[in-house]
Amino acid sequence: MTHNIYLYILVAAAVSFLIRVLPLTLIRRKIKNPFIRSFLYYVPYVTLSVMTFPAIITAPKLPLAGILALTAGVAAAWKGVNMMGIAALCCAVVFICEMAAPYLM
Amino acid sequence: MNRNKNAFTNGIRDGIPIALGYFAVAFSLGIVAKKAGLNPFQGFLSSFLNHASAGEYAEFTVIMANAPYIEMAFVILITNIRYMLMSCALSQRFDPGTSNAHRLLVGFGITDEIFGISIGRIGALNPYYNYGAMAIALPGWSLGTALGIVAGNILPASIVSALSVALYGMFIAIIIPASRTDKIVGGVVIASFLASFAVSKIPQLDRMSDSMKISLLTVIIAGAAAALFPSKDDDGFDIDKKEEGGSRI
């Protein structure tokens, strides 16, 4: 069975919209439950980590370029480089690796 | 009235750097969207309605997998669940008499960055500040996605391959600084990397889509972390915290 891309977009948009507006319109008190607060606190970090690895290695044509981009990105983030700088660095590492690869192998 | 106009202008001003950053990242998101089979208009529509980098990335993996619609709903719920907490935090910053129309519109415009700049302001939140930021940042995000889909055709393969990691670079920029300041987050990030790698190597799970793996891993790992290490109240979402430099209205 194939699915309609517009329906996919609509479902995603509807869920995103509800997530964003329901608390704002309904809940007027601070969430006190420590488990829910903690869970929501950890969620973005887990999601982003799981999405990043190992996908960053499989996305470029050359897996080694992905490994080096990950290493460089983590090092730069640790040093406090901003988001755009890190994204640009990762791209540059992959580009240079893939350009250099034919001459090294 | 003049107050609202000022707030709107300030929102646009603070939204300009966000829009520029969005444009570049959305461009790489467009490359993913193209892989999933979206045309530029569909990419624009998706980004205008959803405007969430991780959420849309997950959205495109669901489309790529041709997964059921219910899976899309579940995946978006999990990847975008942080907006729920942001929405809770923002609800505390509104004047109690704020109309539902303002609440719906401000809620629609919540992103990590717009939340970040609006929560930093002192006093009751003027919705027009958010509208200003949204007016510049959301088109930047949507046009960037559409252009990414268009230019995926034009750009040489080596550039597309290089740009394919831009989004991950952005994710790294969020998880690593947080890992540095909070060692538990660091442990959670490492555990997530290892679990994700392990799951990708289990042949029995090949039939499960990437987006479902991401969602299930998120629920399991974040749930375990919350049970083992309940976070303190300095989690950055503390709405009572007063920050400086927000009083510009």
Cα separation, B116 vs B88, whole angstroms: 14
How far is CA B207 from each of CA A4, B75, B210, rounded to the nearest angstrom? Answer: 21, 16, 9
Model confidence pLDDT, tens digit, residues B105-119: 999 998 877 876 776
Q: Return the minimum-mean-pLDDT range out of A2-16, A76-90, B71-85.
A: B71-85
What is the pLDDT at residue A54?
92
Cα separation, B181 vs A96, whole angstroms: 32
**Residues of chain B contacting A7 with CB distance shorter than 8 Å:** 69
pTM over 0.90: no
Query: Which of the residues B168, B192, B234 would you substitute to probe the A interface, choosing the one with the greatest number of A C-beta atoms within 10 Å?
Result: B168
Nearest by CB: A13 against B25, B49, B58: B49
Give helix B2-35 / helix B166-181 axis angle, nearest 10°: 120
Cβ of A87 and B58 within 8 Å? no
* Nearest C-alpha neighbor of B122 from the set B241, B2, B18: B241
Tokens found for residue B181: 């300041």
What is the length of chain A?
105
Task: Say what the ipTM of the complex is.
Answer: 0.85
Q: Position of tokens 């007016």?
A: B135
Domains of chain B by residue range:
2-163
What is the pLDDT at residue A27?
67
Point out the residues of chain B with pLDDT beneath 50.
Answer: 234-249
Count of CB atoms situated within 10 Å of the CB of B119: 20
Using a CB–CB cutoff of 8 Å, tell me whether B208 touches chain A: no
What is the average pLDDT across A22-29? 79
Dihedral over alpha carbons B208, B146, A6, B72 (to 10 degrees): 30
How far is CA B249 from each of CA B15, B97, B119, B124, rounded to the nearest angstrom? Answer: 15, 19, 14, 10
* Nearest C-alpha neighbor of B195 from the set A47, A23, A105: A47
Model confidence pLDDT, tens digit, residues A43-82: 778 888 988 899 899 988 899 999 999 999 999 999 999 8
Residue A54: is the preceding peptide bond cis (ω within 30°)?
A: yes
Cβ of B91 and A23 within 8 Å? yes
Tokens found for residue B194: 């290892």
**B244: exposed, middle or buried (Cβ count in 10 Å: 0-12, 13-18, 19+):** exposed
**Residues of chain A contacting B238 with CB distance shorter than 8 Å:** none
Burial B191-227 (b: 16+ CB within 10 A, else e): bbbebbeebbeeeeeeeebbbbbbbbbbbebbbebbe
What is the pLDDT at residue B244?
34
For residue A28, pLDDT over 90 is answered with no
Cα separation, B85 vs B38, whole angstroms: 30
**Residues of chain A contacting B172 with CB distance shorter than 8 Å:** 52, 70, 73-74, 77, 86, 90
- Which parts of chain B fold into alpha helices (H)? 2-35, 40-50, 53-65, 69-79, 82-91, 100-108, 112-119, 127-154, 157-163, 166-181, 183-200, 210-228
How far is CA B129 from each of CA B13, B15, B202, rounded to the nearest angstrom? Answer: 10, 10, 48
For residue A99, pLDDT over 80 is answered with yes
- Which of residues 10 through 39 in chain B touch A, CB cutoff 8 A? 21, 24-25, 28, 37-38
Using a CB–CB cutoff of 8 Å, tell me whether A63 touches chain B: no
Using a CB–CB cutoff of 8 Å, tell me whether A100 touches chain B: no
